[in-house]
Structure 1
Amino acid sequence: MANPSDCEQIKQIEKELLTNGPDAAAAKIQEYLDEWDNIPLNIAVTGETGSGKSTFVNAFRGILDEEDEGAAPTGCEETTLEVSPYPHPNYPSVKLWDLPGIGTPKFPADKYLKLVEFERFDFFIIISADRFRENDVKLAQEIQRMGKKFYFVCSKIDNTVRDEETRLRSRFSEERTLKQIRDNRIQGLEKLDIVSPQVFLVSSRHLHLYDFHLLEETLERDIPAQKRNTLLLAMPNVNPEIIRKKKEAFGSKIKYLASVSALIAAAPVPGVSFATDIAMLVSTVSQYQVTFGLHSKSLQSLARSACVPLADLRSVMTSPLCLNEINKELIIKILSCSLADMALMAAEEGFRYVPLFGIPAAASFSFISTYKALHTFLDMLAEDAQKVSKKALGFSTSV
């Protein structure tokens, strides 16, 4: 079902088509798609020195190796001395801002929000490695007073759980331990006058464990509708539901891409439509591959993090789109294996020369062939993303 913003866009495109013709309508669609891909999202990550802010910033952006390009520096000492933006490697309009620890001489608690330029952030994540302190609470109260959202994250929870297991031995229960930690943190914040605090237990080294998926769901629910897909596509693939939602988000764009294809096909120039369609398919499928974490660098990083041989992850992938660089030769080769797809393309070019009804028919065939191809490629990559997730992290493969 189309959402209200989609319906409004479709009306604007239809108006542009009737008023100024196919080229103007195609440009309008492309403008919408460009905006869709570049909606800014600014996430502030703050907390006291040594709380694990930088590690969380890296993990959220899918950077698991501190030596990787663009990684936020981490360490036992305070490594964040300035307000530092870290763009997402695949979606640069999404920035995580690693803020200096609150309460330092350069960033005193009473001037903190002004010094970090509070207004530019969509929401705040307040991180602590153990219990939340008075400065954390003061910051949360001030954020709340100024009308923005904040979330408490207990980091390094895997270390805490491991310590409890060592201490309790045979009496240890992970479920009970996590509940006690969560309840203690919530009660501590309530005693400091935070009403109904949202607390999430997270291991930045193992985002698929504990509460990260709950944090993702909460953020998705709380942020403005136009930014939800932006947040979702930038999220690491830590569970099957995120992969399913990414597939759904990409699927919602396909009708627009197919419409661009149809409008270009309305131009009476042989060969232009086919070349444009292939270029669009290459660009779009490359985005699918990167966002689902199926390109080489992401697979290597996942293999290291999950302690699974890279060859094992590659062995479960069946689509040629996952095992090769996405280029026009590969796309044409895959399309040529489908007689139906080739017949649609041939029909599009053939109808171009039919008087009167030829151009509308060519546009229709172009829409159908692009729409079908993109859904096929999206299905292939989403399915392999689920298989890789199951192999690395032990989840089911429901798409």
Structure 2
Amino acid sequence: MTPPTTNTRLHYCCILHSSSLHHRHTQVHMEAVLASVKNDLMNNDTAAAVEKIQRYSKEPNNIPLKIAITGESKSGKSTFVSALRGIKSIGDEDEGAAPTGVVETTSEVTEYLHPNYPNVTLWDLPGIGTTKFPADKYLELVGFEKFDFFIIISADRFRENDVKLAKEIQKMKKKFYFVRSKIDNNIRDEERKKDFSKEGTLRKIRDDSVQGLQKEGFESPQVFLVSSFDSHLYEFSKLQQTLERELPAHKRDALLRVMSNINQEIINKKKEAFQSRIKYYSTLSAAVAAVPVPGLSVNVDLSMMASVVTDYVTGFGLDKQSLEKLAASSGVSYNDLCAVIKSELAKEKITKEFFMKMFISVAGTAALMAAEKVSRRISIIVTAASMGLSFTTTYLTLSYFLNQLADDAQRVFNRALGVNISV
């Protein structure tokens, strides 16, 4: 195995350092929330404490992530924006799809919110080099500083304006990635030839793109070959994985939540991201359990866990809207996709009352709830036991439902690909 270069080692060190800083920041923030919640409870302000806990459970969905999609006109930017948002843009049938056309359809910097996570925004930027956005003033006019990274798209080869833009972004120490779009068109064109080879065609496109960029001074350009209409093909998945890997730690979860389940690895990473926060929710549960108010912990826990599990359903694409979109794009009916889902949590709106039924159905949790109520009434001496019980109950319950929904996401993914599944 070739030893990593200095730059590679430095890159990995930066990632590890970023993850460590993110963990420390999360821990410090968690302690501040705990202190504030305890203070509210000691002052009998239960409503304020509950509001803070619920707000904390929703915080991962509030981390802003701003992605800029740019390139020359008619390169497929708008279709790519819609693909990242999980919206079909053929003829703009879906409400909210970025408009497409044979002429330049983006004349202004246009913001699109992700339909499930509005904290993630994709910005369809006007084609570089147009009259209103000349190349030499492009970054200034579009407000480059607000974006987390840039994706530069070309439908055939990367041209002078693409190169100029990348070099300016590079000077400003922002991340950028080259995307060769409309690969499906290239494959169809080449299929007519007698000596057609899909692998050979893809290799030729990649080599041409990489070599062209290397001649312009980019030592190791990252180029991804994609089809915005068939995101499970080619390198859409590889692009998503690269973005997730290279983002700062606190931005990764935001990106993971909006990624389509186009392979097993993304489902696993989503599960890992959700799992990593369960200990914090459990710690909050334990803090509330320390306050000797009958019924308080149970009510707070149910509200918090219902909110968290709802996020699991949406994040795994098991909500009705996401399943309908998957049915439209995969050709597998909505009913067939729903048929492989086992968890009732993905089939009903998760109200506090509905979650209570699901909560009790988990083996042993009803007994744990009863024990928690009893232990809190005995005396202050058993407070530590009550806290431990509440932590364990919350941790095991959320983990159980997370595993269920992750398995459902895998079954839906397999069904969408036409894989036979034993329900």
**1:213-224 mapped onto 2 (5 Å cutoff):** 213-224=237-248
Match of 1:38 in 2: 62
1:290/1:175 CA distance change after superposition, 3 Å: same
Residue from 296, 304, 309 that aligns with 1:272:
296
Between stretches 269-278 and 359-368, larger displacement belongs to 359-368
Alpha-carbon distance in 1 for matches of 2:279, 2:151: 35
TM-score by length of 2: 0.87
Match of 1:64 in 2: 88
3-state SS of 1:127 partner: strand
Instruction: Say what the alpha-carbon RMSD is for the aligned residues.
Output: 2.4
1:230/1:24 CA distance change after superposition, 3 Å: farther
C-alpha contact 1:128 1:155 (8 A) present in aligned 2: yes
C-alpha contact 1:158 1:203 (8 A) present in aligned 2: yes
Match of 1:232 in 2: 256
> CA shift at 1:312, angstroms?
1.8
1:227/1:263 CA distance change after superposition, 3 Å: same
**1:212-361 mapped onto 2 (5 Å cutoff):** 212-361=236-385
Pair 1:160 & 2:186 matched: yes
The one-letter code of the counterpart of 2:27 is I
Between stretches 117-126 and 188-197, larger displacement belongs to 188-197
The one-letter code of the counterpart of 1:67 is E
1:287/1:130 CA distance change after superposition, 3 Å: same
Match of 2:3 in 1: none
> CA shift at 1:11, angstroms?
5.3
C-alpha contact 2:30 2:280 (8 A) present in aligned 1: no
> CA shift at 1:396, angstroms?
10
* 1:221-272 alpha-carbon deviations (Å, 9 max, x no partner): 2222221111111212111101100000000111111111111122222122
Pair 1:90 & 2:104 matched: no
> CA shift at 1:219, angstroms?
1.4
Match of 2:150 in 1: 124
* 1:301-331 alpha-carbon deviations (Å, 9 max, x no partner): 1011011122221121111112222222332
C-alpha contact 1:232 1:245 (8 A) present in aligned 2: yes
Alpha-carbon distance in 2 for matches of 1:178, 1:23: 61
Match of 1:146 in 2: 172
Alpha-carbon distance in 2 for matches of 1:146, 1:320: 49
1:218/1:395 CA distance change after superposition, 3 Å: farther
Match of 2:38 in 1: 22
Alpha-carbon distance in 1 for matches of 2:80, 2:166: 19
* 1:76-123 alpha-carbon deviations (Å, 9 max, x no partner): 221111001112122212111100001110001111111101111111
Match of 1:390 in 2: 414
Alpha-carbon distance in 2 for matches of 1:342, 1:55: 49
Alpha-carbon distance in 2 for matches of 1:288, 1:21: 25
The one-letter code of the counterpart of 2:232 is H
Q: What is the total number of aligned residue pairs between the two structures?
A: 394
C-alpha contact 2:232 2:262 (8 A) present in aligned 1: yes
3-state SS of 2:342 partner: coil
Alpha-carbon distance in 1 for matches of 2:319, 2:212: 44
> CA shift at 1:379, angstroms?
0.6
3-state SS of 2:157 partner: coil
C-alpha contact 1:137 1:194 (8 A) present in aligned 2: no
Alpha-carbon distance in 1 for matches of 2:407, 2:28: 34
- Unmatched 5+ stretches in structure 1: none
Alpha-carbon distance in 2 for matches of 1:383, 1:213: 20
C-alpha contact 1:42 1:120 (8 A) present in aligned 2: yes
Alpha-carbon distance in 2 for matches of 1:73, 1:108: 22
3-state SS of 2:153 partner: strand
C-alpha contact 1:208 1:393 (8 A) present in aligned 2: no
C-alpha contact 1:243 1:386 (8 A) present in aligned 2: yes
Pair 1:10 & 2:36 matched: no
C-alpha contact 1:278 1:328 (8 A) present in aligned 2: yes
3-state SS of 1:257 partner: helix
Match of 2:222 in 1: 198
Match of 1:107 in 2: 133
> CA shift at 1:23, angstroms?
3.9
3-state SS of 2:291 partner: coil
- Unmatched 5+ stretches in structure 2: 1-15, 42-48
1:284/1:21 CA distance change after superposition, 3 Å: closer
Residue from 349, 374, 389 that aligns with 1:365:
389
Alpha-carbon distance in 2 for matches of 1:94, 1:338: 34
1:324/1:35 CA distance change after superposition, 3 Å: closer
Between stretches 143-152 and 334-343, larger displacement belongs to 334-343
3-state SS of 1:352 partner: helix
> CA shift at 1:28, angstroms?
8.1
